[in-house]
Amino acid sequence: MTSLGVNGATGRMGGAVVETAREREDVTVEFGIAPGADAQEVGADPGVPLYSPESTEDALATHDPDAIVDFSVPEATVSLAGACASADVALASGTTGFADDQLAVLQETGQATPLLLAANFSRGIQALLRALGPALEALPGYDVELLETHHNGKQDAPSGTAYTILEAVGEHREFDPVYGREGIQPRTENEVGVLVRRAGDIRGEHEVTLADNDEVLTIAHRAGDRAVFAAGAIDAAVWLDGREPGLYDFGDVIGAGGD
């Protein structure tokens, strides 16, 4: 049994993690962390106390979790990572939008505690990334376009997953990203268009199109429920439990078969 804390417990994804964990027999959520909290409780479960970020060290000391699942904002994640390193607690984070200096701090923190950063905890996205390379190799010279769609409350754009997809493209060809288009803007030979939509309560959609004048190949992923990401984040936290300090990603979890 892996004991967990959830940072951002009252948010969309944090709440999904708490709910998903209740249905599993291999984990237990001991506490949540959220801004403005003061010994409140997550959802209707009286067994999950809620702490403010300022009380993180107290929460870690009191509950001694095996790992923390984090869906918050970059500043909160960086601070949490330091506290986890001091308390020898693993951290699985789905937060995106980090600045370069924040990533540098997290990379250093990964030397002291198991730290997993994932732009997307979906197994389907991992399959998309693995399918993309062979497609690019088989279709040299084809135009590449990327479209991503998320709910209207998402703050960073493009999504962290979109950037991960662009990194995968960059492993197979040189390209110049173009973020949206306006006016007279003819497509260049090495261009990859990156288009962003924000609307409603869409959980997450990513679509890669490869096209020439005669055919179109589309590789797409759509998440119908946040529980998809919550389950992946919990899998990552369980996988981290007992690992050596280091900086990991969700591909490590999938590559190891979740073991």
Annotated catalytic sites, by residue? Answer: 150, 154
Determine the 3-state secondary structure of 189 from DSSP: coil
Distance CA 70, CA 79 (A): 11
Reply yes or no: is the peptide bond before residue 186 cis, omega within 30 of 0: no
Closest among 199, 206, 135, 106 to 164, alpha carbons compared: 206
Query: From CA 4, how far away is CA 21, in angstroms rounded?
Result: 9
The answer to whether 236 and 92 have CB atoms below 8 angstroms apart is yes
Give the residues across from 168 on adjacent strands. none
SS3 state of residue 47: coil
